[in-house]
A and B are shown apart, each in its own frame.
With several copies, the nearest count.
Chain A
Amino acid sequence: MRELMYLQAINEALAEELERDEKVFLIGEGVQTGTFGTTTGLVDRFGPERIMDSPLSETAIAGVAVGASMLGYRPVADLMFADFMYVCADEIFLKAAQWRFMHGGLQTLPCVFMANIGAYRKLGNEHSQCPFSLVLRSPGLKLAAPSDPYDAKGLLKTAIRDNNPVVYFFHKGLLGMSGPVPEEDYTIPFGQAVVRREGDDVTVVAPSFMGFWAIAAAEELKDRFSVEVIDPRTLEPLDLDTILVSVRKTGHLVILDEDTERCGFAAELAMQVMEKAFDDLDAPIKRVCAANYPIPGGVMEKYVIPQPEQVMAAIEEVMA
């Protein structure tokens, strides 16, 4: 199969959906040029009315997504860095997430908020967040976090076709990663985790960029433990079943989460597993997350965001 980079896969998903449905449009700061390459070139094909460069106004951009989606459009709002969701938080977390619900479920809001997540680039606290729990604490939103080009394309297409507001987080560490992407149209259903590597001793759940380290650690430790690695792909809806099946098999669970530890996805998933499979656990669940600090600039970053050694240590501990 042909290979594409992650950013190209995103670009292609946008192009195909723009082509397929004239109600789809893209809006954001400089999307005609494209900060991450994810939207580059689309304006040549679809014109400035559908690839809309906007003023530096995340609040209005998000408002456009909310408003236009109620009238049958399928806006994709490019927020650049996920950290910037904080500057349009009312629009995303109170309006997009809750509008349908609070008006009795009579409307649909098919809009996508796409944003770049992740650290490891020494960009500091306002360009490095991975704010999964910020999204997850707002029911009404869906959350997709692809970890390879195939998923990047398939999940974005699903996001655009979904009749609900979807937050689509793409990771800066994956932008240049290549992988097979079919030429034919395909989508990836939300709420279907994928087992990236099979194993019998310990389950590692690792969304987005964390998958790399899970695989690397599994490989590194393969003579000692058989590690099963699961990528949930969407965090809402979450495919808890696949995770439970694995945990029932292995009895051990490590959860990786690049987001700040406190009140994060890792704690939530651990709690759900405890609620459903407490008796299947042979050891306490371990989590490896960003420590409870802002993300520092410079080399100090490494003391805050998850490191590969921590992943290995967690697997060893849970197996000890």
Chain B
Amino acid sequence: MKFEKEDLVKLYRNLVRTRAFDEAAVRWLAQGKLLAFYHPAQGGEAPGVGGCTFLRDDDIVYPHLRGHGLPHMIGKGISPKLYLAEHCGKATGAAGGMGGFHSVFPEKGALGAGGTIGSCFPVSVGWALAAKKNGRGQVVVCFFGDGSANRGTWHEAANMAALWKLPVVWVCENNGVAQFVPIEDAYPLEDLSNLASAFGMPAVVVDGQDVMAVAEAVTAAVERAREGKGPSFVECKTARFGPHGIGNPDKVHGKDRDPRQIEELKRRDPVALFRSRLLEQGVLTEEDAERISREAEAEVAETEAFIDQSPFPDDPGMLDRALYAE
């Protein structure tokens, strides 16, 4: 795929918006406005944003948990407003305030996500089988972490997808750690893309801090899937700048993660990297970049106002309506 200028700007804008909303979510959690817990995306925005921004509306995304799917939803063109209202427990939220961090936007291919890590794989295969059956050329893109890749669900789903040449792309957001466990303690090889070889699936490893590299690799894999050639695997080497979840200590082996390592990681901030690249290439001017940041902040402010004005749900009748369909 050849990216036009507006594609690059869109990609950048989505990255900036993701970062802005993610920071807001962290703030809101501290204020007690955002409910339950939050697992920030910071440092790991590029796989979701890069992997989703150029999908079709009817392509289907299984978001990874980082930012509770913010990068993926923003990439997919979904305004985070209803999602965040939901996460703040408001009646105006995407699930009427009873989903917590769960939201769906079916018209944009966001059909939800589960809370057990690794449950993404079998459900994605179900979506992909439906996509193959209906012949509309939809592709499913399933995002997951290095830790998620330890779950056995991967094996069954990957096998089935390869066997039946289903239109699904597996995008691994390998940030080298699963909550408190570094990948060296969870997988014996260097690259998780080796998992694909068990099923003869094509696999690539890309710099997951380079949003364009991600976009290119995922786009190629999506095209392949759309042509009926079956699944492939894209491993994005990415990073987690902070702790797993807000409130968790940022430790491995019971010890603080090495601050120098984190400094190192932060030097490859995906937003900053892409910003300088676009400035360098003259795709953006400093003013453009600042305007994009300002717009993102305005969008956040507008979202916050919307959330603040929204009531909490208070209708127990919702429960029955949500439990069973007619």
- A: which residues have CB within 8 A of B? 25, 29-30, 32-35, 40-41, 43-44, 48-49, 53-57, 59-60, 62-73, 75, 83-84, 86-87, 90-91, 94-95, 99-110, 121-127, 139-140, 142, 163-164, 291, 293-294, 296-300, 303-304
Contact = CB atoms under 8 A, between A and B. Distances in A.
29 contacts: A33-B249, A34-B254, A55-B150, A55-B163, A55-B181, A56-B151, A60-B125, A63-B119, A63-B123, A63-B157, A66-B122, A68-B133, A90-B153, A91-B122, A102-B99, A103-B94, A104-B96, A105-B323, A109-B325, A124-B115, A125-B115, A163-B324, A296-B99, A297-B36, A298-B313, A299-B89, A299-B313, A300-B316, A304-B319
B179 A35 contact: yes
A42 to B, nearest CB: 8
B253 interface: yes
Contacts of B273: none
B35 A122 contact: yes
What 6 A-B pairs have minimum CB-CB distances, sorted nearest first? A297-B100, A67-B126, A63-B122, A104-B95, A105-B322, A30-B180
A296 B100 contact: yes
A210 B126 CA distance: 36
B157 A298 contact: no
A101 B156 CA distance: 26
Given A53-B253, A56-B118, A297 B98 contact: yes
B313 A30 contact: no
Given A127-B115, A298-B99, A299-B97, A60 B122 contact: yes
Nearest to B320: A293
B98 A67 contact: no
Interface string B59-93: 00000000000000000000000000010010001
Nearest to B324: A164
A91 B181 CA distance: 23
A40 B130 contact: no
A71 B130 contact: yes
Nearest to B35: A122
A123 B100 contact: yes
Interface in B157-215: 157, 159-160, 163, 178-181, 185-187
Contacts of B95: 102-106, 297
Given A101-B322, A123-B100, A59 B152 contact: yes
B36 A67 contact: no
A83 B116 CA distance: 8
Contacts of A66: 122-123, 126
A82 to B, nearest CB: 12
B55 to A, nearest CB: 16
- B-side interface mostly: loop
Interface in B200-240: none
A55 B156 contact: yes
Nearest to B249: A33
A142 B323 CA distance: 11
Given A33-B249, A57-B152, A87-B118, A67 B106 contact: no
B111 A300 contact: no
B181 A29 contact: yes
B312 interface: yes
B260 to A, nearest CB: 19
Given A68-B133, A105-B321, A297-B100, 14 more contacts: A57-B150, A59-B157, A60-B121, A60-B122, A64-B160, A67-B127, A70-B112, A87-B119, A91-B119, A94-B114, A94-B115, A104-B93, A104-B103, A110-B325
Contacts of B104: 103-104, 106-107
Interface of B: 35-37, 86, 89, 93-104, 106, 111-112, 114-119, 121-131, 133-134, 147-148, 150-153, 156-157, 159-160, 163, 178-181, 185-187, 248-249, 251-254, 312-314, 316, 318-319, 321-326
B36 A121 contact: yes
A164 B100 contact: no
B117 A124 contact: no
A56 B325 contact: no
Contacts of B253: 32-33, 43, 48, 53
Given A53-B180, A94-B114, A103-B95, A296 B319 contact: yes
Given A71-B134, A108-B325, A127-B115, A122 B89 contact: yes
A92 B186 CA distance: 22
B139 to A, nearest CB: 13
B178 to A, nearest CB: 5
A126 B103 CA distance: 15
A95 to B, nearest CB: 6
Given A94-B119, A106-B106, A298-B89, A124 B36 contact: yes
A234 B72 CA distance: 41
A299 B254 CA distance: 34
A32 B180 contact: yes
A110 B325 CA distance: 9
Contacts of B130: 67-68, 70-73
A297 B127 contact: no
Contacts of B148: 56
A300 B117 CA distance: 24
Of A34, A102, A122, A304, most buried by chain B (CB within 10 Å of CB) is: A102
Contact of A63 (B94, B101, B153): B153
A71 B127 contact: yes
A93 B100 CA distance: 19
A298 B254 contact: no
Contacts of A164: 324-325
Contacts of B96: 104-105
